[in-house]
Structure 1
């Protein structure tokens, strides 16, 4: 496997490898260009997302600023909305389904580092000084809502139709169709038909 293939597969890889650096720099430049646009520049934003993301569906809107590490490993479905300051560190694949609603200041982070200082700090690897890291993919099922300030950690899957409360740090998989909150994030209850807005009399 090449170093870049190891990165995508969740194996130890060298982030300073020329191929990885070139891909990351390209993504960072596209993010910078995106973040200089306004809401009204829809065509320009669309073209930048076409270049930045690995794939995306119809009706994708990112308020910006948007920060993506590689971009090529991020796959987004139809009807995606992200508020201010979405950060996606896609060392490994990040798969985001259809009909997603992401609040401001959300981080989806796939990278992982050694727990011991000697593994994190620069050290001799083969014939050069460097570091190795790895990652685990993130998957978000269809029809999810992530509240403001949510952090999703490496390797997490969030089941379809679930709601993650503001400020939650998601360290483990979340099942489908639940409300989950906290740090670390935990399931509070199942979501039911009683949660329909039309049944909330006080809102009408």
Structure 2
């Protein structure tokens, strides 16, 4: 439990901790079970999501397949929609507001690793939370990196790589994503 607490607080932790491995394996089984539910059985799908995710609503809709590391660190608002192959490495909290749309093949990552091979090989890691505001659309194939905050009323263009914070009321595209249009 200690390594889990360090992980969600953004402190360095041992990624090979037995309890963390147990939680990861449980979530892998949960993802597999969710992905096996008949796509038209919306009630069973939603019930499974409510069991897996830290916060979700009765109108949460995630198209299968869906993949995540822990699930319990993912918090989505009302009327949330994610398309095929949404992948979330939720070692730190991932908080998403109301009325958000996630395109297909989007990845949201909180896990961080050293760029120094000797350090990376010790399996010591840390995580940074991702926060996404209300009324955000993230286009297909986009990648959201650790520690990023995206404001309200934002569109992230397809294929973009978001490496730093994006303010509210803008359209951002590219690699790295940059603001190309202000909405207000």
SS at match of 2:124: coil
**Residue aligning to 1:187:** 179
Q: Tell me, yes or no, if structure 1 residue 77 matches structure 2 residue 77.
A: yes
SS at match of 1:55: coil
Q: Distance in 2 between matches of 1:51 and 1:107?
A: 21
CA contact (8 A) 2:170 2:181 kept: yes
Q: How does 1:138-149 map onto structure 2 within 5 Å?
A: 138-149=130-141
Q: Tell me, yes or no, if structure 1 residue 152 matches structure 2 residue 144.
A: yes
**Residue aligning to 1:99:** 99
CA contact (8 A) 1:58 1:77 kept: no
Q: Distance in 1 between matches of 2:153 and 2:38?
A: 31
Q: Tell me, yes or no, if structure 1 residue 161 matches structure 2 residue 167.
A: no
The offset of 1:101, in angstroms, is 0.7
TM-score, normalised by the number of residues in structure 1: 0.88
The offset of 1:22, in angstroms, is 1.3
Deviation per residue, 1:52-100 (Å, 9 max, x gap):
1011123100011000100111111100011100001000000011000
Q: Which 5+ residue runs of structure 1 have no aligned equivalent?
A: 123-130, 193-204
User: Which structure 1 residue ranges, 4+ long, deviate > 6 Å from structure 2?
Assistant: none
Moved more, 30-39 or 136-145: 30-39
The offset of 1:2, in angstroms, is 1.3
SS at match of 1:189: strand
TM-score, normalised by the number of residues in structure 2: 0.97
Q: Distance in 1 between matches of 2:168 and 2:159?
A: 19
Residues matched between the structures, number = 184
Larger Rg, first or second structure (1 or 2):
1
Deviation per residue, 1:145-174 (Å, 9 max, x gap):
000001000000000000000000000000
Task: Tell me the C-alpha RMSD between the 2 structures.
Answer: 1.1
Q: Distance in 2 between matches of 1:172 and 1:187?
A: 11
Q: Tell me, yes or no, if structure 1 residue 108 matches structure 2 residue 108.
A: yes
